[in-house]
Structure 1
């Protein structure tokens, strides 16, 4: 018979081994061989799905035991916990329905993306504010309405909060809840009514790590002076478009004192008065959009300090100065896009325009420019889009103007006193997509160089063409053709039903006979 003491010792060791094994195995997430998904989280996901409407069957993969392989579900490879739920939609078939509280079972979730869905104008569920580990929350374009729950201010780990283009009727009477999100780097709240928020800048200034701020069309009515101490030293992108500030921006305004700012957009804000010299403080700026405002006077010479400036948008203002002087004040080394249309610019384009060697788009239409278009424009070898419509330009444009413009796709020179005179055998070095020559002189022959394979929009109305309509017109890729107010003669060519043409204007010409019907191919 065995020694009772040894037997007791053996049983004790066996019990301890069983206990250790039980503890270690219960800490492991898989419950089935090769399965990472944690059962209680899988059950929570299925309950979450049950509350949703899914007309497009976007969640069809949500079946079986391995939830970590379901579309939009991301699990930790180490623990098996669900760490991200990314079920955004870009299709017409969007998710909707109810956000169930089973979502709270996913206690380790760091990212929640429900953007692009349609939740029928219901309020953002307050329960989202209890997902304390969230670092990224995106509810953009999701048709949530009503008051933005201040409970979101409890998400102290948030790095990115995106609430862009919510449903009409979304609002927040204050932003105190935002000021508690001290780790935020990205904050997008657009088309949300914040008109009742008087101290919005104070709340934003509590976010020292903020990099990207977008408050487009929020009804903000005051753009306050700088605080005693600004915390926005990391801010790189600031978008405040479509807010009714209706004020001037003095030299001491906080927007000119953001040392890291790379993008500033204040379009359509009712800002008036001159652009202050302090704009030159933004030495890191790459995109400056002050369009659709009421800025007056001249562009200050301090803008020359913006050596990194790539996109300058000053269109639809009341800037009144000589265009050559304005261009002389701009930094030329990095500039790609220049919007200056709808201002009061005067004078002639300088031949040194070619110094802007990186320029791809230049828009100067609807100003008061005079003189000729300089041949030096051919030095803009990267130019794809030029618009000079509705000025007082005159003179002749020849092949020499176009020599190096191999990237040109959009050419608008209408409503000037310009003559385009090129050899009848000239082959354009570029491939135009849209061209507008209204009220210039192109004739008397119909320009054969306009027979280009990618042209979809062509206006040659009132251009002194006295010729037959070329046959190639019927085989072009054009969707819009305006040939009116010329002296075109003969019959229209026959267009097939497969022609992309949608609008054809041949009024006020000398076309005879009956119009040919479109024929099938």
Structure 2
């Protein structure tokens, strides 16, 4: 028995000897063990917001390694600890995903007592906003340093250059944004010393580290590492300037990641490029030029990511000699020409993205049969021809949208059993497609066939199309004439807009909204011919549009359950009743568009503080009453359109505190009174469209506001491309204005568009000279008022002005020659005033016709029939002239009625004072007021 026990003990001993590392037979160095114990006691567990990243992110399968650190055990056996097999010193500390939080590398950190460390990894921990102390330079034996953590900040100390044995350097901040001022930084001096001293560096990984001060000459020092450097990752580091091409030629370099450095320029080597490069990723940099033939010599290349650069020219055929390529991403460049037929050589290719270029010609047949391809995106090019026959089963994503393809829908798509995402929008498909065929694609998650005007989708309402995994369905502009019936329990987005669907919304759709579609977030049924009651959006939905239909009835109070709405667009229907109070209290609603309905009553007065409103359009209804003062709580408001209602109020001066407001339209209401500022330092600083026409405003023009219209003063001539108001593609801000004498709807509002319309009111006084400072102004309409005086010469400074309407006022004097400087002026209306003298010549004035000046009998010159050389005696007024100038039959009647009184007053004034001029002006003003009231 004793022999058996001895044998068992020997077996157990041998088992442990063979299965545990040799350092378990050693005793950990006491000094190092004490330092580790101190370190353990110096931190605390992460808070819940960061803890989420560990338990549900990349650290989900890990637990804190230091839980195994017990004083009763040898520290060489602790998780994350590696000891030297001879001395017992701690040489490796690997604490990734350990839930550590605190100043892990601060001044008092006991880690710095581990002087024999060779490898240090603190990935996925929290530095709690602390920086790396200069004592990091004491780890002179360090070969591997990995600090990829949260909230690491400050400068990388220059002492890091003391680590001359470094082979692997990985420093990254996990939660940093590009403009974060607290992100960790490395300056030019520290970089230079590091690269010069650490000559054994094999892997350099800097992620979200601010390297903006590192110059081009400093980057070129990387060529000193030609014998060692294997991997170079500088992601989101703000490096700028031109990268020396020789760095891409380093003889041992296998991986290059320079992504997310928008100001980093460079070109690909055109010769002598035979490196063992496996990964080349220049995503979102300013690299440019053409892709050279020399790229074909990178025989080991398997990943080429040039997404979002500025490469142009043709795709070189040599590119398709890279038989090891498994990812090719050239999205959003400026490439031209056809896709080479040699693409069939890339048998290992799994991802091919050539979208967002200017490629033309047909799609090569090889794209339909690559055996390993699971992602194919050729969208947003100029490809022509028809879609070929697919003969691969690996394809999961197919995107061919926004091309010039044509022909019938390819039925071979229904054989792609693994297809998850299909986007064939805007490509010119034709023919009839049985929608029920898509039920064969059981894995289908997203389907977009929008904007194929020649395509006709056939739905059999007697049969349900079952799409169990479908989440996104976009069928806009596909000639759908009846409401499609389908079963998709996981549906999130549905777009049936711009079709010809008639009749009422079916009952099953209402039921799905309220019961089945638990994850629905987006519904667009706009621009159809739907009738009947409104569908009620469920709670959880963010976007809901049924605009431009024929829906009617009141807005149900059940709408109040949909408090998650961000965009609600019910414009251009036949809706009646009141606006529910709850609607303006939704916390996340930033677009409310109820324009062009028959809503009545007052605007609700419970806009909450801190609301999200950016666009509020209630124009074209029958709303009345005063404006709610709680509108001032909409501090994010950019567009406010309340035009064409029956609102009766003074000017809402209390809105001038809205610093983001860019469009204000109160046209065609019953606003009245004098416009005066509330006293805000900069009222309406961003306003670009100001329309208060067709109201009853009186007094002088609102100079205090015009003087501060900063958004109209600085013309943005340097803006590249067209930019529109609003930052979300889900909704386009629009506005109806009088442009060049006609009502026009701007379906999208350019950020550079500015206009002022104060017409059809009762404004008095002169045109303020300060208007001439609004250099961005496109249109100015002051017509049909009582404005007097002359045209200020300063209006000649409005270099962007395209239309000017000053008609039907009481302006006088000569037309300033300075107006000929307005080179973009297309429409001018100065009719029905009291201008005199010669018409200006030159510039756009040579294009204006007689109707621009009608009703000004004292004007002369081309194109008028009256020559300035003719007899200058005043010609008799016509009946119309007398009417508009204030001396028609109405004035005669008033004269008879009031003549005696004013005659006596005037006579006495002459007799006693002898200065009738002042009183004469008073009489003229009183008569003028009465004449206008009589009209």
Normalising by structure 2, we get a TM-score of 0.44
Q: Displacement, 1:181? A: 4.7
- Paired with 1:208 and 1:328, the residues of 2 have a C-alpha distance of 40
Residues 200-215 of structure 1: pairs in structure 2 closer than 5 A: 200=435, 202-203=437-438, 206-208=441-443, 210=445, 212-215=446-449
Inter-partner Cα distance in structure 2 for 1:303 and 1:215: 31
2:922 alignment counterpart: none
2:423 is matched with which residue?
188
1:49-107 deviation line (CA, Å, top 9, x unaligned): xxxxxxxx963445353485977389xxxx9932333334466xx5133x332111122
Provide the C-alpha distance between the structure 2 equivalents of 1:438 and 1:331, rounded to a whole number of angstroms: 30
Mean CA deviation greater in 61-70 or 310-319: 61-70
Correspondence list, 1:66-85, <5 A: 66=298, 72=306, 81-85=324-328
Larger mean CA deviation between 419-428 and 503-512 belongs to: 419-428
Q: Choose which of 470, 480, 498 in structure 2 pairs with 1:242.
A: 498
Q: When the two structures are aligned, how many residues end up with a matched partner?
A: 455
Q: Residue 24 of structure 1 corresponds to which residue in structure 2?
A: none
| Alignment-derived partner of residue 261 in structure 1 | 520
Classify 1:202/1:265 alpha carbon distance in 2 versus 1 (closer, same or farther; 3 Å).
Answer: farther
Partner of 1:445: 700
8 A Cα contact 2:674 2:700, kept in partner: no
Paired residue for 2:354? 114
Is the Cα–Cα contact under 8 Å of residues 174 and 196 in structure 1 kept in the other structure?
no
Instruction: Tell me, yes or no, if structure 1 residue 479 matches structure 2 residue 775.
Output: no
1:59 aligns with 2:59: no
For 1:205 and 1:285, the matched residues in 2 are separated by 29
Question: In the aligned structure 2, how far is the partner of 1:273 from the partner of 1:118?
Answer: 46
2:635 alignment partner, one of 359, 365, 381:
381
What does 1:154-233 correspond to in 2, within 5 Å?
154=392, 156-158=394-396, 160-167=397-404, 170-173=406-409, 177-178=413-414, 180-184=416-420, 186-192=421-427, 196-200=431-435, 202-203=437-438, 206-208=441-443, 210=445, 212-218=446-452, 219-220=455-456, 227=464, 229-231=466-468, 232=470, 233=489
Q: How far off its partner does 1:118 sit? A: 4.0
Indicate the RMSD between aligned Cα atoms, in angstroms.
3.7
Matches within 5 A, 1:286-325: 286-323=542-579, 325=580
- SS of aligned partner of 1:165: coil
Q: Which residue of 1 aligns with 2:337?
A: 96
Deviations 1:360-396 (A, max 9, x none): 2111111222222122221222222111111122222
Match of 1:275 among 534, 547, 559: 534
Q: CA deviation at 1:190?
A: 1.9
CA displacement at 1:263 relative to structure 2: 1.8
* Larger RCO (CA within 8 A; separation ≥ 6): 1
Whole-Å separation in 2 of the counterparts to 1:223 and 1:420: 59
Q: Does residue 713 of structure 2 align to residue 415 of structure 1?
A: no
Which sections of structure 2, spanning at least 5 residues, go unmatched?
1-249, 256-272, 275-287, 309-321, 471-488, 713-753, 823-935
Aligned-partner SS, 2:552: strand
User: Which secondary structure state, in structure 2, belongs to the residue aligned with residue 297 of structure 1?
Assistant: strand
Distance in 2, matches of 1:484 and 1:147, equals 56
Q: Is the counterpart of residue 501 in structure 1 residue 737 in structure 2?
A: no
Aligned residues of 2:439 and 2:467 also touching (Cα < 8 A): no
What is the distance in 1 between the residues matched to 2:460 and 2:563? 28
Gaps of 5+ in 1: 1-31, 44-56
1:341–1:116 CA distance, 2 compared to 1 (3 A) = same
Q: What per-residue deviation string (whole Å, max 9, x for no partner) do you get for residues 326-365 of structure 1? A: x436771221111111222222212224478222211111
Alignment check: 8 A CA contact 2:607 2:631 kept:
yes
SS, match of residue 182 in structure 1: coil
Instruction: Return closer, same or farther for 1:177/1:505 CA change in 2, 3 Å cut-off.
Output: same
Confirm or deny that 1:105 pairs with 2:405.
no
Please state whether the residue corresponding to 2:761 is helix, strand or coil: coil
